[in-house]
Amino acid sequence: MARAATTSDVFNAIAERQRRQILVLLRAGERPVAELAHELGMTQPGASKHLRVLREVGLLKERKAGKQRLYRLDARGLRPVHEWTGGFEQLWNERFDRLDAYVQDLKHARREE
Amino acid sequence: MARAATTSDVFNAIAERQRRQILVLLRAGERPVAELAHELGMTQPGASKHLRVLREVGLLKERKAGKQRLYRLDARGLRPVHEWTGGFEQLWNERFDRLDAYVQDLKHARREE
DNA sequence: TTGACATATTCCGATATCGGCATATGATTG
DNA sequence: CAATCATATGCCGATATCGGAATATGTCAA
């Protein structure tokens, strides 16, 4: 066996810088492919591929408008990621404060020897 | 060119299921490698590799304890991910409510034709 | 020092990924 | 219909990934 699929998994979909940039751009509203490609300095096929991945994990919706296809953000899929990381919030606040305190204690103890 | 590096990027590090499971387990406190491997049903080398990736992106700290190496969570690196996804919070709440309303309107309009 | 234990590293094969390029599909206009 | 514009898809090469197996490294204990 080899690797986990990138599609059908939001965590993998947003692991790519350019895809994250696409999502950020689309926060301002729907846009056509060529515009996204241009603003992010990538080729049109490149943009289309990333858009496909994002669409397949449900983060994007597509809408036809004449020759263009307008992509729109559906941010709901990001919520699980937000919540998962949120499950560590206590730790990145509290626990390392405790560690700092512990380190401080060590320094004091050493100084007193 | 080919791909972005998995290491030196927290988004990529947590894109892997097993690595996420490791982080969850370590929320309860530091643990030796073999224990993690056993609880997650993976081989020892497999665990070591994932631990390495997590350590290299700064999510894990290592501590020697006799023959063992205890891995401890440093969740601070997850904060950027939490904040990045949090930047979409308005959207996954508000904007799709509006869309739903819009869709409802369409249905109504069609029914009245 | 030797042996046993815990972990890390290396090598391998299968596969997935990304970017580039060429081309196919689809829609609009004349 | 033909031409054009917008986008998607297919193929390719380079490389990264994951899992497995074997082996190396490191640490303790007798």
Domain-by-domain residue ranges, chain A? 1-73, 79-113
Q: Is the pLDDT of residue B66 over 60?
A: yes
Predicted confidence at residue B99, as pLDDT, reads 58
Which of the given ranges, A12-21, A100-109, B87-96, has the highest pLDDT on average?
A: A12-21
The alpha carbon of residue B59 and the mean position of all alpha carbons in its chain are separated, in whole angstroms, by: 11
The type of residue at A62 is E
Measured between alpha carbons, how far is A59 from A55 in angstroms, rounded to an integer?
6
Average pLDDT value for residue range A8-19: 94
* Cβ contact B85–A85 (<8 Å): yes
Nearest residue to B52 (alpha-carbon basis) of B6, B4, B103, B99: B6
Going by pLDDT thresholds of 50, 70 and 90, the confidence category of residue A107 is low
Whether A31 sits with its Cβ under 7 A from any strand C atom: the answer reads no
Report the distance from CA of residue A54 to the C1' of nucleotide D3 in Å, as an integer.
Answer: 33
Q: Is the pLDDT of residue B108 over 80?
A: no
Cα angle value B53/A17/A51 (rounded, 5°): 125
**Comparison of pLDDT for A104 and A24, the residue scoring more:** A24
Task: For residue B64, count CB atoms less than 10 angstroms from its CB and return exposed for 0-12, middle for 13-18, buried for 19 or more.
Answer: exposed
Name the closest residue (CA) to the C1' of nucleotide C15. A2
Assess contact for B28 and B72: CB atoms under 8 A: no
Going by pLDDT thresholds of 50, 70 and 90, the confidence category of residue A90 is very high
CATH number given to A1-73: 1.10.10.10
Measured between alpha carbons, how far is A22 from A40 in angstroms, rounded to an integer?
8
Q: Is the pLDDT of residue B1 over 80?
A: no
Taking contacts as CB-CB distances below 8 angstroms, the residues of chain A near B14 are 11
SS3 B34: helix
Q: Is the pLDDT of residue B93 over 80?
A: yes
**Comparison of pLDDT for A30 and B113, the residue scoring more:** A30
